[in-house]
Structure 1
Amino acid sequence: MAPYPTECIQELKAHKGPVNEVCYNKSGQYCVSAGRDRTVRLWNPLSAMLLHTYTGHSRDVLGVSVASDNAKIASCGADKAVILWDVGTGEILRRYTAHWERVNSVDFNDDATVLVSGSFDATIRIWDCKSSNFSPIQVIEDCKDSIMSIQVKGPEIVAGCADGRLRVFDLRMGQLSEDYIGPAITSARLSNDGNCVLVSSLDSTIRLMDKANGRLLNEFKGHKHTEYKLQSTMTNTDAYAMSGSEDGNIMVWDVLEGSAVKTLQLHKGVVSSIDYHPSDVAMVSAGADSIIRVWS
């Protein structure tokens, strides 16, 4: 058996139009998707059952995140809004509207007390999910261009920006580290051990960076990535890197060798989003063809 997914076992069809992001919840039992059709959808990926549709955005939904307790979902979109949802009832708990351009990415902190969003307005905003205050508790304005990707882990915020810089903010220490990559970054994701950052940029290259010192550890090529926001991720063992491509492929690379080991061809058009299961050999992928595929 391959140590990475090779076979499509389910196709989830419900979004009308492209799917901008798909991600697992923390246990990997469910997945959540964000669509151009202005909806957020909750799925059982193994049975392909659509469990809930969340409607409240007035334009494309660009990003989603699931809280660690699985009770809340956050979404953001082209309507400049960040929405906090109750998973069970589908009700909107909070709607944050302080960004003045589209919001590209959103993530919860570890205990889901705080929400962090990154926007085309070049700001990162931090929201308190517990208070009734709808203003951000902090605004970070160090980025010079659109923030395409946000990930929160512990006291750190990892941000990938269109200005070609990877930024890691340590909120506890009040420190910022910056690494200049060059081309616009569309995705920056920590390895599971937290030591590295996998960075996708618009030169059809994915770079594995050492988080501590900014050293380039490896590069992965062979996919097409020059125009669209694509995500890359690592397997749960950190042994393989994977990414969608603008030609409809999903590519898998050996992290140590840097060599491509597999190309999966089923999607039509851009494969914009990919997420790896937290514990199993499984992943979900989605993009322009409006179909979410589950791989095992």
Structure 2
Amino acid sequence: MLALQDYASDSSGSEEESKETIEELTAHLKPVQSGKSLVSTQKLNAAPLVITKEDVGVQRHLDITTKEVKYNPKFEEMFAPQVGPSNPFKTQQMLAKKNMISGYAENAHFNQFQFENQRRTFTSYGYAVDPSVDVQVSSEPPIVGDRVAADDSKGLTVFEAMPKRPEDKRKRLRNSDAGDVEGYLGPWGKFVDEKTVMKPSEDEQKELDEILAKRSKTNKQTEEKTAEEKTTLHIKDAYDYQGRSYLHIPQDVGVNLKSEEPPEKCFLPKKHIHTWTGHTKGLSAIRWFPVSAHLLLSCSMDCKIKIWEVYNERRCIRTYTGHKQAVRDITFNNEGTEFLSCGYDRYCKLWDTETGECKSRFSSRKVPYCVKFHPEPDKQHLFVAGTSDKKIVCWDIRSGEIVQEYDRHLGAVNTITFVDQNRRFVSSSDDKSLRVWEWDIPVDFKYIADPSMHSMPAVTLSPNGKWLACQSMDNKVSIFNVLNRFKYMRKKTFTGHMVAGYACNVDFSPDMSYIISGDADGKLYVWDWKTTKLYSKFKAHDDVCISVLWHPHETSKVATAGWDGIIKYWD
């Protein structure tokens, strides 16, 4: 008020005009005098009326004909769809769950069972009661759909069973007398009107036989004749002045070849001392003569088997020819007087080592991948062969018949190795597993498989019979402990070579200090047995080095065979 009293306009007006304006302004106020100052009071509303969203109408929509908008509409209002009548069933349809096969149906004046009954009757039989007509008014229920079918079935629904007439039931042949052994039928008798396959008449049978005979002639595979077995002696005299053949163990080579004890200390082979040539194609396997190892037997992809001298002149002594296709594996018996060979011509053949005579032939019409004599002296007439049809077949040489089949593998069988004093044998296969078998029991008692395992196409038992060295396809040599339940020795793994795709053989040094292996590049690898450290590697062959053998009586002599058709001797 004091400010208003002091207020004066710049215009040259009289004081009277300014006083009038002050009086007009203060006319509406009720001055209260408290002491010397004037204080104006105004009545406050503690709970004023507030307009809610519903009053304003937030869900308003703009009419498309509107030319002018007198407020700021939101984006949702500007671009909302044109307003129409609300859907009366919208909330119900949104909230309702399926109460019938095709969706949601509202409650009607007749119950759900009757509705479902008529619906199924219509889908099954093609007719149903007309729902638009009141059944109570009309004498007969009106039918919608196939009237002929409705008349035939008298308007029955799917829930009303059709009456079965006794003549509709099929009659069976009966003979429930269990004492009648030949004629007893029980509940399995045929129906009376059941048609059985008729045998052709004599004329029809003749005609059928002629047709089959013509077909068999066109598709007939001629029975393959076995290749004629031959042998060639490459030395002048098969016997010396004392009548001893080349199988006789030499005494004058500076090494006791008859000893059963291995050399005390073995050394690494360093230089190439001899090459045996004669095979025209790659070799498959080489084997020492049993015990003495003064002879070396080799088989090749040129379908030939040769035996070589290891000492003295190191000549090729004899060649055995008798397989039509590549020879896959060879094995001596305990004495060395006979050996077995198996080839891709699906035959296993038994040869006399000294004379070269083929004594027997065995074939199961499958390719044998490996052969092994039973090592026990009293079971030398038995041998096992792992075949391409996932079986291990045991043959008896005396009768020439199969006496046992071990059929549990899921792939072709690659190796067979006798362990545990020849009471058991281990087989490896393309199914990436090892199976351990008791002799003459055709169920494997141990199955060794792991998702990380690869197939192991070459397996060798250590000289002391405790360890199994397996050439794994993932470029490593894996070791299994034979005595400790075939435990996989994870820490004892030999790596560094490349053998994926090849069955490169593995061997131990006689004193168990080294382990050797071939390689796909033709190299020979030598590892330390205890530390698994790679000691030496050198180029041995121009092609795959498929087989390696450490001489059982020599400290550092190793024989290697390659796909270049050469056998090399290292010292």
How does the TM-score come out when normalised to structure 1? 0.93
User: Residue in 2 aligned with 1:3?
Assistant: 267
User: Residue in 1 aligned with 2:407?
Assistant: 141
Q: Percent identity?
A: 23
Q: 1:172 to 1:280 in 2, by over 3 A?
A: farther
User: Residue in 2 aligned with 1:213?
Assistant: 485
Report the 3-state secondary structure (helix = DSSP H, G, I; strand = E; otherwise coil) of the residue aligned with 1:136.
strand
User: Residue in 2 aligned with 1:279?
Assistant: 553
1:288 aligns with 2:288: no
User: Residue in 1 aligned with 2:306?
Assistant: 41
1:172, CA displacement in angstroms?
6.4
Which of 49, 55, 62 lines up with 2:321 in the alignment? 55
User: Residue in 2 aligned with 1:223?
Assistant: 497
| Higher RCO, 1 vs 2 (CA within 8 Å, ≥6 residues apart) | 1
Mapped to 1, the partners of 2:444 and 2:454 lie a distance apart of 24
1:39 partner amino acid: K
Which of 422, 444, 461 lines up with 1:190 in the alignment? 461
1:17 partner amino acid: K
1:167 partner amino acid: R
Instruction: Determine which structure has more spread, i.e. the larger CA radius of gyration.
Output: 2
1:105 aligns with 2:370: yes
Q: Is the 8 A contact 2:404 2:440 kept in 1?
A: no
1:31 aligns with 2:296: yes
Report the 3-state secondary structure (helix = DSSP H, G, I; strand = E; otherwise coil) of the residue aligned with 2:402.
coil
Mapped to 2, the partners of 1:83 and 1:197 lie a distance apart of 28
Mapped to 2, the partners of 1:125 and 1:9 lie a distance apart of 40
Mapped to 2, the partners of 1:2 and 1:210 lie a distance apart of 23
Mapped to 2, the partners of 1:201 and 1:162 lie a distance apart of 11
1:176, CA displacement in angstroms?
2.7
1:2, CA displacement in angstroms?
5.8
1:68 aligns with 2:334: yes
Tell me which moved more, 283-292 or 155-164.
Answer: 155-164
The aligned runs of 1:96-135 (5 Å cut-off) are 96-98=362-364, 100-110=365-375, 111=377, 112-129=380-397, 131=398, 133-135=399-401
More helix by share: 2
Q: Is the 8 A contact 1:163 1:185 kept in 2?
A: no
Q: Is the 8 A contact 2:540 2:560 kept in 1?
A: no
Tell me which moved more, 74-83 or 44-53.
Answer: 44-53
Q: Is the 8 A contact 1:24 1:276 kept in 2?
A: no
Report the 3-state secondary structure (helix = DSSP H, G, I; strand = E; otherwise coil) of the residue aligned with 1:137.
strand
Q: Alignment length, in residue pairs?
A: 293
Q: Deviations over 1:170-228 (max 9, x none)?
A: 21677532222521111111111111110011111111111232323210011111112
Q: Which runs of 5+ in 1 are unaligned?
A: none
Q: Is the 8 A contact 1:4 1:235 kept in 2?
A: no
1:292, CA displacement in angstroms?
0.5
More strand by share: 1
1:35 partner amino acid: S
User: Residue in 1 aligned with 2:447?
Assistant: 178
1:9 partner amino acid: I
Mapped to 2, the partners of 1:113 and 1:155 lie a distance apart of 16
Tell me which moved more, 274-283 or 48-57.
Answer: 274-283
Mapped to 2, the partners of 1:275 and 1:126 lie a distance apart of 27
Q: 1:120 to 1:172 in 2, by over 3 A?
A: closer
Q: Deviations over 1:239-286 (max 9, x none)?
A: 211110001101011111111111131211111112222222322111
1:152, CA displacement in angstroms?
3.0
Q: 1:29 to 1:18 in 2, by over 3 A?
A: same
Mapped to 2, the partners of 1:4 and 1:192 lie a distance apart of 18
Mapped to 1, the partners of 2:296 and 2:536 lie a distance apart of 24
Task: Report the aligned-residue RMSD.
Answer: 1.7
2:532 partner amino acid: G
User: Residue in 1 aligned with 2:97?
Assistant: none
1:203 aligns with 2:469: no
Q: Which runs of 5+ in 2 are unaligned?
A: 1-264
1:234, CA displacement in angstroms?
1.2
2:327 partner amino acid: V
Report the 3-state secondary structure (helix = DSSP H, G, I; strand = E; otherwise coil) of the residue aligned with 2:425.
strand
1:165, CA displacement in angstroms?
1.1
Q: Is the 8 A contact 1:158 1:189 kept in 2?
A: no
Q: Deviations over 1:88-119 (max 9, x none)?
A: 11111111001x33211111122333212112
Report the 3-state secondary structure (helix = DSSP H, G, I; strand = E; otherwise coil) of the residue aligned with 2:410.
coil
Q: Is the 8 A contact 1:166 1:188 kept in 2?
A: no
Q: 1:215 to 1:201 in 2, by over 3 A?
A: same
The aligned runs of 1:226-241 (5 Å cut-off) are 226-241=500-515
Mapped to 1, the partners of 2:497 and 2:511 lie a distance apart of 22
User: Residue in 2 aligned with 1:163?
Assistant: 431
Q: Is the 8 A contact 1:205 1:221 kept in 2?
A: yes
2:411 partner amino acid: D
Report the 3-state secondary structure (helix = DSSP H, G, I; strand = E; otherwise coil) of the residue aligned with 2:401.
coil
Which of 235, 248, 259 lines up with 2:533 in the alignment? 259
